[in-house]
Every structure is written in structure tokens, then in C-alpha cells.
Amino acid sequence: MRSASILAVIALALGLAGCGGMPKPNITAQKAKPGTVNARVALVASNYGSDWDKENVTLFVVQQWRNRDGVPVKEETVAEKAFAKGHAGARGSISLKDAEGSETRRVFLKFELKSGPDPLNQNVSAAITREWKLSSSMAEADLVFLAAISRTGGNNYAIDVVYAQNLATGEIEQVLPAN
């Protein structure tokens, strides 16, 4: 069941990106400011149940800055998306600068999936921090993170896979799990 849902997400992503001789998408993407990446999140459920709506399942994308020893020194929420609320969430910005302020294409992103009816007291179901080295086509672009999530039991959820898609070019890159 899980692999079938992941295949469905991949098929959706390939359909969005186009294949072979298909033309690139004709999307007028928002230009990112120099040294940033526009980002928002769209969620797909691989085993949806109506009780998800009252659980307030939300995916947060947080950028982390680390010092030279690899210790996080600052965090900022880039995007968040509640499953039961609309389409892709509001656009945020990923900064292409390290903790010292130097330009970089290597960013640390934490993907955190929370659930629970009370937003002030939610259960963290899944969290992973990934160092992501953005390709040249993903830097200073307008991206959508497409995340497939699933229920693992009770009010616990998992992040199955996350893809980043450049809206201007249609290019898709797998962010999680790391290759």
C-alpha cells in the first residue's frame, strides 16, 4: 500500500514536470530575491482518513544555521502547511547564506510533522534535518516542496518522501529520503 502511494506521488510529480518530448510548463513563477529561494509546501496523503482533519496534521519546513562545529545557532520557519487547509501554503524564503553570512548553496532544512487538535500542544510525529546542496536550477528559484505523508498509527504520522519542484522549469529533485 505504501509503495503504491509513493508511486502515485512520483507519477503526479512526473506529470507536473513533463516527460520526454513534452514542453516545459508555461508557469509564470515568482522571481526570488538574489541570494534566496522562494518556497512553499503542498501535502499529499498516502493513507488518508477523515480523522486527519481534526488532528491538525501540519508540516513545517525550518531553515537551520549551524556554526563551524555543526551546532545549530539559529532556526527560522520557512513554510508550513496544514493538511486540511487549502492548497500549497504561503510562500516563504530560504536564505542562501551560512551562519557567518557568506553565500552558499548548502542549506540545512528541518522537516517537522506535527499533529494534535491543540496547536499549542502538538505531538511531533516525524522530524529530520537534511543538508541540501541546491543545484544551480534550484537556487534563486520559486520552489514547491511536494510531501507525501502517511499515518503510522494513533495520531502518529510519517514523512514518506519530499520532492522540490522548480515551477519555472518543471525540474524535480528528491529532497527526502536523501539519495
pLDDT digits (tens, 9 = 90+) for 72-105: 999 999 999 988 777 766 789 999 999 999 999 9
Write down how long the chain is.
179
Between residues 64 and 16, the one the model is more confident about = 64
Q: Minimum mean pLDDT among 20-24, 62-66, 141-145, 148-152: which range?
A: 20-24
pLDDT for residue 129 = 93
pLDDT for residue 95 = 95
Single-letter amino acid code for the residue at 25: P
What is d(CA 39, CA 16) in angstroms, rounded to the nearest whole number? 17
Q: Minimum mean pLDDT among 28-37, 106-115, 137-146: which range?
A: 28-37
Question: Greatest CA span in the chain, whole angstroms?
Answer: 49
β-pairing, 123-133 with 72-82? unpaired
What are the φ and ψ backbone dihedral angles of 143, each rounded to 5 degrees?
-110, 150
Is 60 exceeded by the pLDDT of residue 71?
yes
User: Measured in Å, how far apart are the chain's first and last C-alpha atoms?
Assistant: 22
* 49-61 mean pLDDT: 85
Categorise residue 77: left if φ over 0, alpha if ψ from -120 to 50, beta otherwise. beta
> What are the strands of the beta sheet with 172-176, ordered from one edge?
92-95, 36-45, 142-153, 156-166, 172-176
pTM score of the predicted model: 0.81
Joined together, the cell numbers standing for residue 2 give 505504501
